[in-house]
Structure 1
């Protein structure tokens, strides 16, 4: 017993020194509720197919999985898409989001069916918070320099930024395929603010991408710590769900109340 207490004290001390206090959060704060349904929310510059490697890993464990197709034209439109998916679920549901999808999930996650929230290198703003202002408190991620806008107000990453900064740990050929199906984002998203932060009331999990060049990894750590999320780190680009699907699936399985194998 004394050894266990000493180990816990050393963990807390180490976390305090490194600033990674999210690692010291008690699992009791994020106790999973077993679910049958998992709804996946994609981020910007992508679509539901970005979950293609994670989905079969979850289905193999018996879960009913739905990948939302967000229009990425506005926050409201994306939240509505998630709410439609939630309405189709037959019981308790775990929400999982990547990147900007975390903002959508924070808004839609107050649905009574939702038992928990899993953030994969994702935004997690507080209600009414200016996310760009929060991001500006940290060094800018390189991908932002590659965002290009069309004359009608839709943004896409340049090919170089997509391949190097968005999916930098993927084989170039695979990154190029994902670039080819990149979905433009509506300019309204850049100024949108959530009115709800479901993470205040729901158990949360977070996967930090340590090699992320789209969202600063320290910003990810800050948001995870602020939520008191059960947090892991993956040595990955922003697209950990593509380059490290098993690690991402393992975290989702844990949040779904099933121990990964």
Structure 2
């Protein structure tokens, strides 16, 4: 059951929330079931193991709409996530100062799409939705119109911010946040 996430005193409505805080009110994704810890601490992390996606369920969890051969390569080459990163508090919320665009992947098994919608709304993002897994920009590379419809307006706003000094004072010049599940967070500029 999804808890009410509109109460202002809850940690997932604050910029200092953790990944766990933000996703807690929503049904767990398949990733919660298929992530496997390493038997050793993650090098350079605050403590705890790295997490990998179980190889047998990698495609289903991460890139269900990607071709099987590509998913196999992605699974073999996956970068781990330090488990500690899930509980680390954000120190700053760039989305409070930088315009953002968020692409919700409706069939994402790694991050619950409802959690994505909540995060996007909280950030005041321009939201686009796509019928895709977590890796929309990879599995839908053959649909340039869909990508351009999402990316080009963000780039145009970024250029306007760079050309407008008052706007540049309010946010870093020509920077915008482009967030899509498979891109995670990138600042363009």
For Structure 1 versus Structure 2, the TM-score category normalised by the shorter chain is: 0.5 to 0.7
User: Secondary structure at 1:256's aligned position in 2?
Assistant: helix
Counterpart residue number, 1:254: 153
The answer to whether the Cα contact below 8 Å between 1:166 and 1:238 also exists between their aligned partners in 2 is yes
Task: State the partner residue of 1:150.
Answer: 38
When normalised by structure 2's length, the TM-score is 0.66
Structure 1, gaps ≥5 residues long: 1-123
Which region of structure 1 is more displaced relative to structure 2, 245-254 or 129-138? Answer: 245-254
Contact 1:126 1:194 (8 Å CA) reproduced: no
Alignment of 1:20-99 (within 5 A): none
Query: Which digits, 9 at most, give the CA deviation of each residue in 1:8-59, with x for residues without a partner?
Result: xxxxxxxxxxxxxxxxxxxxxxxxxxxxxxxxxxxxxxxxxxxxxxxxxxxx
Structure 2 equivalent of residue 221 of structure 1: 117
Contact map agreement 1:143 1:162 (CA 8 A) in 2: no
Alignment of 1:1-261 (within 5 A): 126-152=14-40, 153-245=49-141, 246=144, 247-257=146-156
How far is the alpha carbon of 1:127 from its aligned partner?
2.3
DSSP 3-state at the match of 1:195: coil
Match of 2:43 in 1: none
Deviation at 1:133, TM superposition (A): 2.3
Distance 2:74 2:95 in 1: 30
* Count of aligned pairs: 135
Bigger relative contact order (CA 8 A; separation at least 6): 1
Distance 1:243 1:140, change over 3 A: same
Helix, strand or coil at the partner of 2:16:
coil
Q: TM-score, normalised by structure 1?
A: 0.49
Structure 1 residue 134: Cα displacement: 2.2
Query: Residue 249 of structure 1: CA displacement?
Result: 4.4
3-state SS of 1:150 partner: strand
* SS of match in other structure, 2:156: coil
C-alpha spacing 1:131/1:190, structure 2 compared with 1 (3 Å): closer
* Contact preservation (8 Å) 2:108, 2:133: yes
Structure 2 equivalent of residue 44 of structure 1: none
- How far, CA to CA, are the matches of 1:126 and 1:156 in structure 2? 28
**Contact conserved, 1:127 with 1:194, CA < 8 A, in 2?**
yes
Equivalent pair of 2:22/2:119 in contact (CA under 8 Å): no
